[in-house]
Amino acid sequence: MKQTKLVRITDIKRDAALLEEAGQIIRDGGLVVFPTETVYGIGANGLDADACRSIYTAKGRPSDNPLILTVPGRDAVRQAAASVSPTAELLMKTFWPGPLTIIFPRQPQVPDAATGGLDTVALRCPDHAVCRAFLKAAGVPVAGPSANLSTRPSPTTAEEVMHDMDGRVDMVIDGGPCKIGVESTIVECNDHGGVTILRPGGVTAEMLHTVVPYVRMDTHLVTGQGTPKAPGMKYRHYAPAAPMIVAVGSVEAVMAELKQLYEEARRDGKTVGFLVSQEVGACLPDAHRYVWGHHGDAEALARQLYTGLLSFDTDKVDLILAEGIDSEGLGAAVMNRMKKSAGGNVRFV
Ligand code: TXA
Ligand code: MG
Protein backbone atom coordinates (compact mmCIF):
# COMPACT_ATOMS: atom_id res chain seq x y z
CA MET A 1 0.00 0.00 0.00
CA LYS A 2 1.29 3.45 -0.95
CA GLN A 3 1.17 6.62 1.11
CA THR A 4 -1.00 8.89 -1.08
CA LYS A 5 -0.19 12.61 -0.87
CA LEU A 6 -3.21 14.81 -1.68
CA VAL A 7 -2.28 18.31 -2.89
CA ARG A 8 -4.58 21.11 -4.02
CA ILE A 9 -3.15 23.24 -6.82
CA THR A 10 -4.91 26.41 -7.88
CA ASP A 11 -2.03 28.72 -8.74
CA ILE A 12 0.59 27.34 -11.11
CA LYS A 13 3.26 29.88 -10.21
CA ARG A 14 2.76 29.69 -6.46
CA ASP A 15 2.57 25.88 -6.50
CA ALA A 16 5.51 25.37 -8.90
CA ALA A 17 7.41 23.28 -6.32
CA LEU A 18 4.48 20.85 -5.94
CA LEU A 19 4.18 20.51 -9.73
CA GLU A 20 7.90 19.81 -9.93
CA GLU A 21 7.51 17.15 -7.21
CA ALA A 22 4.67 15.56 -9.22
CA GLY A 23 6.81 15.58 -12.37
CA GLN A 24 9.66 13.94 -10.47
CA ILE A 25 7.33 11.16 -9.22
CA ILE A 26 6.40 10.45 -12.87
CA ARG A 27 10.05 10.37 -14.00
CA ASP A 28 10.84 8.03 -11.09
CA GLY A 29 8.18 5.55 -12.29
CA GLY A 30 5.45 6.48 -9.76
CA LEU A 31 1.74 7.28 -10.15
CA VAL A 32 0.14 10.74 -9.97
CA VAL A 33 -3.58 11.40 -10.39
CA PHE A 34 -4.16 14.67 -12.27
CA PRO A 35 -7.19 16.83 -13.16
CA THR A 36 -8.37 17.42 -16.74
CA GLU A 37 -11.41 19.20 -18.21
CA THR A 38 -13.14 15.82 -18.79
CA VAL A 39 -12.44 13.47 -15.85
CA TYR A 40 -9.47 12.85 -13.55
CA GLY A 41 -6.65 10.72 -15.00
CA ILE A 42 -4.15 8.38 -13.35
CA GLY A 43 -0.72 9.22 -14.73
CA ALA A 44 2.52 7.30 -15.24
CA ASN A 45 5.55 7.75 -17.51
CA GLY A 46 4.12 6.61 -20.88
CA LEU A 47 7.58 5.61 -22.13
CA ASP A 48 8.32 3.37 -19.12
CA ALA A 49 6.79 -0.11 -19.46
CA ASP A 50 6.92 -0.91 -15.74
CA ALA A 51 5.28 2.40 -14.81
CA CYS A 52 2.50 1.75 -17.37
CA ARG A 53 1.97 -1.74 -15.98
CA SER A 54 1.52 -0.31 -12.50
CA ILE A 55 -1.46 1.70 -13.79
CA TYR A 56 -3.20 -1.55 -14.74
CA THR A 57 -2.56 -2.88 -11.25
CA ALA A 58 -3.83 0.28 -9.53
CA LYS A 59 -7.02 0.28 -11.63
CA GLY A 60 -7.56 -3.47 -11.77
CA ARG A 61 -7.80 -3.00 -15.55
CA PRO A 62 -7.46 -5.70 -18.25
CA SER A 63 -4.02 -5.23 -19.82
CA ASP A 64 -5.20 -5.48 -23.45
CA ASN A 65 -7.01 -2.16 -22.99
CA PRO A 66 -4.58 0.51 -24.26
CA LEU A 67 -3.83 3.76 -22.41
CA ILE A 68 -4.19 7.31 -23.73
CA LEU A 69 -0.93 9.27 -23.61
CA THR A 70 -1.39 12.83 -22.42
CA VAL A 71 0.82 15.65 -23.75
CA PRO A 72 1.11 19.37 -22.91
CA GLY A 73 0.95 20.56 -26.54
CA ARG A 74 1.49 19.77 -30.22
CA ASP A 75 5.28 19.97 -29.88
CA ALA A 76 5.30 16.87 -27.68
CA VAL A 77 3.39 14.67 -30.17
CA ARG A 78 6.55 13.49 -31.93
CA GLN A 79 7.75 11.87 -28.69
CA ALA A 80 5.06 9.22 -29.22
CA ALA A 81 3.70 9.46 -32.79
CA ALA A 82 5.72 8.14 -35.75
CA SER A 83 3.94 10.46 -38.22
CA VAL A 84 1.23 13.12 -38.31
CA SER A 85 -1.28 13.18 -41.19
CA PRO A 86 -2.66 16.49 -42.54
CA THR A 87 -6.06 15.63 -41.02
CA ALA A 88 -4.52 14.99 -37.60
CA GLU A 89 -2.62 18.28 -37.92
CA LEU A 90 -5.86 20.12 -38.68
CA LEU A 91 -7.68 18.48 -35.77
CA MET A 92 -4.90 19.38 -33.33
CA LYS A 93 -4.84 23.00 -34.56
CA THR A 94 -8.61 23.30 -34.18
CA PHE A 95 -9.44 21.31 -31.05
CA TRP A 96 -6.30 21.19 -28.88
CA PRO A 97 -6.09 21.83 -26.04
CA GLY A 98 -9.47 20.17 -25.61
CA PRO A 99 -11.43 16.95 -25.19
CA LEU A 100 -10.26 15.24 -28.40
CA THR A 101 -8.03 12.16 -28.44
CA ILE A 102 -6.42 11.34 -31.79
CA ILE A 103 -5.01 7.96 -32.84
CA PHE A 104 -1.54 8.11 -34.45
CA PRO A 105 0.94 5.53 -35.77
CA ARG A 106 3.15 4.70 -32.80
CA GLN A 107 6.84 5.51 -32.23
CA PRO A 108 8.90 2.39 -31.45
CA GLN A 109 9.91 3.89 -28.08
CA VAL A 110 6.28 3.71 -26.85
CA PRO A 111 6.09 0.38 -24.97
CA ASP A 112 3.55 -2.37 -25.63
CA ALA A 113 2.49 -1.92 -22.02
CA ALA A 114 1.03 1.49 -23.00
CA THR A 115 -0.65 0.50 -26.26
CA GLY A 116 -1.84 -2.98 -25.38
CA GLY A 117 0.42 -4.18 -28.22
CA LEU A 118 -1.33 -2.07 -30.91
CA ASP A 119 0.80 -0.35 -33.57
CA THR A 120 -1.06 2.89 -32.90
CA VAL A 121 -1.05 5.29 -29.96
CA ALA A 122 -3.84 7.55 -28.66
CA LEU A 123 -2.76 11.12 -27.78
CA ARG A 124 -4.62 13.89 -26.04
CA CYS A 125 -3.85 17.44 -24.86
CA PRO A 126 -6.25 18.49 -22.07
CA ASP A 127 -7.67 22.00 -21.75
CA HIS A 128 -6.68 22.40 -18.12
CA ALA A 129 -3.92 24.76 -17.00
CA VAL A 130 -2.86 22.73 -13.92
CA CYS A 131 -2.79 19.55 -15.98
CA ARG A 132 -0.61 21.04 -18.70
CA ALA A 133 1.78 22.54 -16.12
CA PHE A 134 2.06 19.06 -14.56
CA LEU A 135 2.71 17.47 -17.98
CA LYS A 136 5.42 20.03 -18.73
CA ALA A 137 7.02 19.32 -15.36
CA ALA A 138 6.96 15.58 -16.14
CA GLY A 139 8.67 16.14 -19.51
CA VAL A 140 7.47 12.80 -20.91
CA PRO A 141 4.12 11.73 -22.42
CA VAL A 142 1.99 10.72 -19.42
CA ALA A 143 -0.16 7.61 -19.81
CA GLY A 144 -3.48 8.72 -18.33
CA PRO A 145 -6.60 6.57 -18.22
CA SER A 146 -9.51 7.69 -16.06
CA ALA A 147 -8.66 7.45 -12.35
CA ASN A 148 -11.43 5.02 -11.35
CA LEU A 149 -11.19 1.36 -10.44
CA SER A 150 -12.00 -0.65 -13.58
CA THR A 151 -15.81 -0.82 -14.35
CA ARG A 152 -16.67 2.07 -11.97
CA PRO A 153 -17.83 5.55 -13.02
CA SER A 154 -14.94 7.96 -13.70
CA PRO A 155 -14.12 10.51 -10.98
CA THR A 156 -14.79 14.21 -11.63
CA THR A 157 -13.68 15.47 -8.17
CA ALA A 158 -10.59 14.78 -6.06
CA GLU A 159 -12.83 13.37 -3.35
CA GLU A 160 -14.16 10.71 -5.74
CA VAL A 161 -10.56 9.97 -6.81
CA MET A 162 -9.52 9.39 -3.19
CA HIS A 163 -12.41 6.97 -2.73
CA ASP A 164 -10.98 4.65 -5.40
CA MET A 165 -7.25 5.47 -5.38
CA ASP A 166 -6.19 6.29 -1.81
CA GLY A 167 -3.28 3.96 -1.04
CA ARG A 168 -2.83 2.97 -4.71
CA VAL A 169 -1.03 6.05 -6.07
CA ASP A 170 1.79 8.33 -4.86
CA MET A 171 0.05 11.66 -5.33
CA VAL A 172 -3.38 13.10 -6.17
CA ILE A 173 -3.49 16.65 -7.58
CA ASP A 174 -6.80 18.30 -6.72
CA GLY A 175 -7.55 20.83 -9.48
CA GLY A 176 -11.23 21.29 -8.65
CA PRO A 177 -14.29 19.68 -10.28
CA CYS A 178 -13.99 18.76 -13.99
CA LYS A 179 -15.72 21.18 -16.38
CA ILE A 180 -17.07 18.67 -18.90
CA GLY A 181 -17.60 15.51 -16.90
CA VAL A 182 -17.47 12.81 -19.60
CA GLU A 183 -14.32 11.48 -21.28
CA SER A 184 -12.79 12.87 -24.47
CA THR A 185 -13.92 12.04 -27.99
CA ILE A 186 -11.58 9.47 -29.61
CA VAL A 187 -11.06 9.69 -33.38
CA GLU A 188 -9.12 7.79 -35.99
CA CYS A 189 -8.16 9.58 -39.23
CA ASN A 190 -8.48 7.80 -42.58
CA ASP A 191 -6.38 8.41 -45.71
CA HIS A 192 -9.07 10.49 -47.42
CA GLY A 193 -9.44 13.38 -44.99
CA GLY A 194 -12.25 11.79 -42.98
CA VAL A 195 -12.47 10.66 -39.36
CA THR A 196 -14.15 7.82 -37.49
CA ILE A 197 -15.40 8.48 -33.95
CA LEU A 198 -14.42 5.54 -31.74
CA ARG A 199 -15.86 7.08 -28.58
CA PRO A 200 -18.19 10.12 -28.48
CA GLY A 201 -17.17 12.92 -26.10
CA GLY A 202 -16.81 16.64 -25.54
CA VAL A 203 -15.84 17.38 -29.17
CA THR A 204 -19.08 16.43 -30.93
CA ALA A 205 -19.61 15.00 -34.43
CA GLU A 206 -21.15 18.36 -35.36
CA MET A 207 -18.00 20.20 -34.24
CA LEU A 208 -15.72 17.81 -36.13
CA HIS A 209 -17.83 18.33 -39.23
CA THR A 210 -16.98 22.03 -39.29
CA VAL A 211 -13.39 21.18 -40.30
CA VAL A 212 -13.47 17.60 -41.64
CA PRO A 213 -15.53 16.57 -44.69
CA TYR A 214 -16.45 13.05 -43.53
CA VAL A 215 -17.33 12.08 -39.98
CA ARG A 216 -18.61 8.60 -39.25
CA MET A 217 -19.27 6.60 -36.10
CA ASP A 218 -17.47 3.31 -35.46
CA THR A 219 -19.96 0.63 -36.53
CA HIS A 220 -19.93 -0.86 -33.06
CA LEU A 221 -21.20 2.43 -31.58
CA VAL A 222 -24.16 2.48 -33.96
CA THR A 223 -25.17 -1.18 -34.12
CA GLY A 224 -23.56 -2.73 -31.03
CA GLN A 225 -22.29 -5.39 -33.47
CA GLY A 226 -18.70 -6.38 -34.28
CA THR A 227 -15.54 -5.44 -32.40
CA PRO A 228 -15.17 -1.83 -31.22
CA LYS A 229 -12.06 -0.11 -32.57
CA ALA A 230 -11.34 1.38 -29.14
CA PRO A 231 -10.74 -1.84 -27.18
CA GLY A 232 -12.01 -0.27 -23.94
CA MET A 233 -15.51 0.14 -25.38
CA LYS A 234 -16.15 -3.59 -25.12
CA TYR A 235 -15.83 -3.77 -21.36
CA ARG A 236 -18.43 -3.26 -18.65
CA HIS A 237 -17.99 0.39 -17.77
CA TYR A 238 -19.24 3.40 -15.83
CA ALA A 239 -21.30 1.00 -13.76
CA PRO A 240 -22.86 1.96 -10.43
CA ALA A 241 -23.34 -0.82 -7.86
CA ALA A 242 -27.12 -0.98 -8.41
CA PRO A 243 -28.90 -1.90 -11.65
CA MET A 244 -30.18 1.09 -13.60
CA ILE A 245 -32.98 1.88 -16.06
CA VAL A 246 -32.89 5.00 -18.25
CA ALA A 247 -35.96 6.68 -19.78
CA VAL A 248 -35.69 9.26 -22.58
CA GLY A 249 -38.57 11.45 -23.77
CA SER A 250 -40.74 14.44 -22.81
CA VAL A 251 -40.99 15.53 -19.16
CA GLU A 252 -44.49 13.99 -18.90
CA ALA A 253 -43.56 10.68 -20.56
CA VAL A 254 -40.38 10.20 -18.51
CA MET A 255 -42.20 11.08 -15.30
CA ALA A 256 -44.97 8.57 -16.02
CA GLU A 257 -42.48 5.82 -16.91
CA LEU A 258 -40.30 6.39 -13.84
CA LYS A 259 -43.35 6.56 -11.54
CA GLN A 260 -44.58 3.20 -12.81
CA LEU A 261 -41.14 1.61 -12.47
CA TYR A 262 -40.88 3.08 -8.97
CA GLU A 263 -44.20 1.56 -7.90
CA GLU A 264 -43.22 -1.85 -9.26
CA ALA A 265 -39.90 -1.68 -7.42
CA ARG A 266 -41.57 -0.63 -4.16
CA ARG A 267 -43.98 -3.57 -4.43
CA ASP A 268 -40.90 -5.80 -4.56
CA GLY A 269 -39.57 -4.06 -1.42
CA LYS A 270 -36.70 -2.32 -3.24
CA THR A 271 -35.24 1.09 -2.44
CA VAL A 272 -35.02 3.42 -5.42
CA GLY A 273 -32.72 6.31 -6.37
CA PHE A 274 -33.78 8.87 -8.99
CA LEU A 275 -31.23 10.59 -11.28
CA VAL A 276 -33.40 13.25 -12.90
CA SER A 277 -33.89 16.85 -14.04
CA GLN A 278 -35.66 19.40 -11.84
CA GLU A 279 -38.75 19.23 -14.06
CA VAL A 280 -39.10 15.44 -13.92
CA GLY A 281 -38.09 15.32 -10.25
CA ALA A 282 -40.82 17.80 -9.26
CA CYS A 283 -43.62 15.23 -9.35
CA LEU A 284 -41.85 12.02 -8.41
CA PRO A 285 -42.49 10.26 -5.11
CA ASP A 286 -40.16 10.87 -2.17
CA ALA A 287 -36.99 8.76 -2.59
CA HIS A 288 -33.22 9.18 -2.82
CA ARG A 289 -32.69 11.60 -5.65
CA TYR A 290 -29.87 13.33 -7.49
CA VAL A 291 -31.07 16.32 -9.53
CA TRP A 292 -28.63 17.29 -12.28
CA GLY A 293 -30.24 20.40 -13.84
CA HIS A 294 -32.93 21.32 -16.36
CA HIS A 295 -34.65 18.81 -18.65
CA GLY A 296 -32.69 18.51 -21.91
CA ASP A 297 -29.52 20.24 -20.65
CA ALA A 298 -26.81 17.89 -21.94
CA GLU A 299 -23.95 19.93 -20.48
CA ALA A 300 -25.41 19.82 -16.98
CA LEU A 301 -26.06 16.09 -17.22
CA ALA A 302 -22.53 15.43 -18.56
CA ARG A 303 -21.03 17.38 -15.66
CA GLN A 304 -23.13 15.66 -12.99
CA LEU A 305 -23.60 12.13 -14.36
CA TYR A 306 -20.73 10.30 -12.65
CA THR A 307 -21.09 12.16 -9.34
CA GLY A 308 -24.79 11.31 -9.43
CA LEU A 309 -24.12 7.63 -10.13
CA LEU A 310 -21.50 7.45 -7.38
CA SER A 311 -23.93 9.04 -4.89
CA PHE A 312 -26.16 5.97 -5.23
CA ASP A 313 -23.24 3.71 -4.32
CA THR A 314 -22.94 5.72 -1.09
CA ASP A 315 -26.71 5.69 -0.48
CA LYS A 316 -26.89 1.95 -1.34
CA VAL A 317 -30.15 1.91 -3.32
CA ASP A 318 -31.42 -1.30 -4.98
CA LEU A 319 -32.42 0.32 -8.28
CA ILE A 320 -31.51 3.56 -10.08
CA LEU A 321 -34.21 5.15 -12.25
CA ALA A 322 -32.62 7.76 -14.51
CA GLU A 323 -33.71 10.35 -17.04
CA GLY A 324 -31.65 10.44 -20.26
CA ILE A 325 -31.35 12.94 -23.07
CA ASP A 326 -31.51 13.19 -26.88
CA SER A 327 -28.38 11.79 -28.54
CA GLU A 328 -27.48 15.06 -30.27
CA GLY A 329 -24.31 17.07 -29.74
CA LEU A 330 -22.86 16.32 -26.30
CA GLY A 331 -25.97 14.19 -25.68
CA ALA A 332 -24.39 11.44 -27.83
CA ALA A 333 -21.51 11.11 -25.36
CA VAL A 334 -23.81 11.26 -22.35
CA MET A 335 -26.15 8.58 -23.73
CA ASN A 336 -23.22 6.36 -24.73
CA ARG A 337 -22.11 6.39 -21.07
CA MET A 338 -25.63 6.06 -19.63
CA LYS A 339 -26.38 3.10 -21.86
CA LYS A 340 -23.26 1.36 -20.56
CA SER A 341 -24.03 2.29 -16.95
CA ALA A 342 -27.47 0.74 -17.39
CA GLY A 343 -26.20 -2.38 -19.18
CA GLY A 344 -28.20 -1.33 -22.27
CA ASN A 345 -31.49 -0.78 -20.42
CA VAL A 346 -32.62 2.45 -22.14
CA ARG A 347 -36.30 3.10 -22.97
CA PHE A 348 -37.49 5.74 -25.40
CA VAL A 349 -40.89 6.77 -24.07
O1 TXA B 1 -11.03 12.26 -21.30
C2 TXA B 1 -10.27 11.27 -21.36
O3 TXA B 1 -9.93 10.78 -22.43
C4 TXA B 1 -9.79 10.70 -20.02
C5 TXA B 1 -8.91 11.74 -19.34
C6 TXA B 1 -8.36 11.23 -18.04
O7 TXA B 1 -7.89 12.14 -20.20
N8 TXA B 1 -9.08 9.47 -20.23
C9 TXA B 1 -9.71 8.30 -20.55
O10 TXA B 1 -8.88 7.21 -20.64
O11 TXA B 1 -10.89 8.22 -20.73
P12 TXA B 1 -9.40 5.69 -20.58
O13 TXA B 1 -8.18 4.88 -20.52
O14 TXA B 1 -10.36 5.53 -19.49
O15 TXA B 1 -10.04 5.45 -21.97
C16 TXA B 1 -9.19 5.31 -23.08
C17 TXA B 1 -9.89 4.67 -24.23
C18 TXA B 1 -10.13 3.19 -24.03
O19 TXA B 1 -11.43 2.85 -24.48
C20 TXA B 1 -9.06 2.58 -24.94
O21 TXA B 1 -9.45 1.31 -25.41
C22 TXA B 1 -8.95 3.60 -26.06
O23 TXA B 1 -9.06 4.82 -25.38
N24 TXA B 1 -7.65 3.59 -26.74
C25 TXA B 1 -6.43 3.86 -26.22
N26 TXA B 1 -5.46 3.70 -27.15
C27 TXA B 1 -6.08 3.33 -28.29
C28 TXA B 1 -5.63 3.01 -29.61
N29 TXA B 1 -4.34 3.05 -29.94
N30 TXA B 1 -6.56 2.66 -30.54
C31 TXA B 1 -7.88 2.65 -30.22
N32 TXA B 1 -8.37 2.95 -28.98
C33 TXA B 1 -7.49 3.27 -28.04
MG1 MG C 1 -12.08 4.97 -18.34
Instruction: Express each pLDDT in 278-300 by its tens digit.
Output: 999 998 998 899 999 999 999 99
Task: Give pTM, 2 decimals.
Answer: 0.96
pLDDT of 228: 83
- Mean pLDDT calculated for residue range 313-330: 94
pLDDT of residue 164: 93
For residue 81, give the 3-state DSSP assignment: strand
User: How far is the centre of ligand 1, averaged over its atoms, from the C-alpha of 40 (Å)?
Assistant: 13
Mean pLDDT, to the nearest integer, of 234-253?
90
Report the share of the chain in percent with pLDDT over 90: 87
- Residue whose Cα lies nearest atom 30 of ligand 1: it is 230
Does the structure show a pLDDT above 90 at 199? yes
CA angle 59, 28, 114 (to 5 degrees): 45
Q: Which atom of ligand 1 is nearest to the CA of 148?
A: 14
Of 84 and 314, the one with more pLDDT: 84
Determine the pLDDT at residue 308.
96
Ligand 1 atom at minimal distance to the Cα of residue 118: 29
Least confident of 40-49, 211-220, 221-230: 221-230
What values do phi and psi take at 83, rounded to 5?
-155, 160
Q: How far is the centre of ligand 2, averaged over its atoms, from the C-alpha of 147 (Å)?
A: 7
Across residues 66-73, what is the average pLDDT?
Answer: 96
Please report the atom of ligand 1 found closest to the CA of residue 120. 29
Ligand 1 atom 10, closest CA: 145
Distance 68 CA to ligand 1 centre (A): 5
- CA neighbor of 51 nearest in space, from 71, 67, 35: 67
Ligand 1 atom closest to Cα of residue 121: 29
Q: Is residue 162 over pLDDT 80?
A: yes
Lining ligand 1 with CB less than 6 A are 36, 38-39, 41, 65-68, 70, 99, 101, 103, 115, 118, 120-122, 124, 144-146, 183-184, 186, 198, 229-233
| Count of Cβ atoms closer than 10 Å to residue 198 Cβ | 23
Among protein residues, the one whose CA lies closest to atom 29 of ligand 1: 121
Query: Which whole number is the average pLDDT over 116-126?
Result: 96
Whether residue 156 has pLDDT greater than 80: yes
Average pLDDT over residues 59-74: 89
For a mutational test of ligand 1's pocket, the pick from 132, 186, 196, i.e. the residue with the most ligand atoms closer than 8 A to its C-beta, is 186
Please spell the DSSP secondary structure of 12-44, one letter per residue. Answer: TTTTHHHHHHHHHHHHTT--EEE--SSS-EEEE
Whether 64 shows a pLDDT value over 80: the answer reads: no
The whole-chain average pLDDT of the chain stands at 95
Nearest CA to ligand 1 atom 17: 232
pLDDT category at 237 given cuts 50, 70, 90 is: confident
**pLDDT for residue 62:** 75
Give pLDDT, residue 287: 85
Output the CA–CA distances (angstroms, integers) from residue 336 to 40, 157, 204, 237, in the order listed.
19, 21, 13, 11
Helix (H, G, I), strand (E, B) or coil at 231: helix
pLDDT value at residue 226: 78
CA-nearest residue for atom 22, ligand 1, is 230
The residue contributing the CA closest to ligand 1 atom 13 is 145
Assign 137 a pLDDT band (cuts: 50, 70, 90): very high
Q: Which helix (H) or strand (E) holds 134?
A: helix 129-138
According to the model, what pLDDT value does residue 61 have?
79
In contact, 40 and 178? CB cutoff 8 Å? yes
Kindly give the number of the ligand 1 atom that is closest to the alpha carbon of 42: 6
pLDDT, position 233: 74
The pLDDT value recorded for residue 301 is 98
Q: What is the pLDDT of residue 337?
A: 95
What angle (nearest 5°) sits at the alpha carbon of residue 313, between those of residues 311 and 316? 110
pLDDT at 259 exceeding the cut of 90? yes
Compute the distance from residue 193 Cα to the ligand 1 centre, in Å: 22
- What's the pLDDT at 239? 84
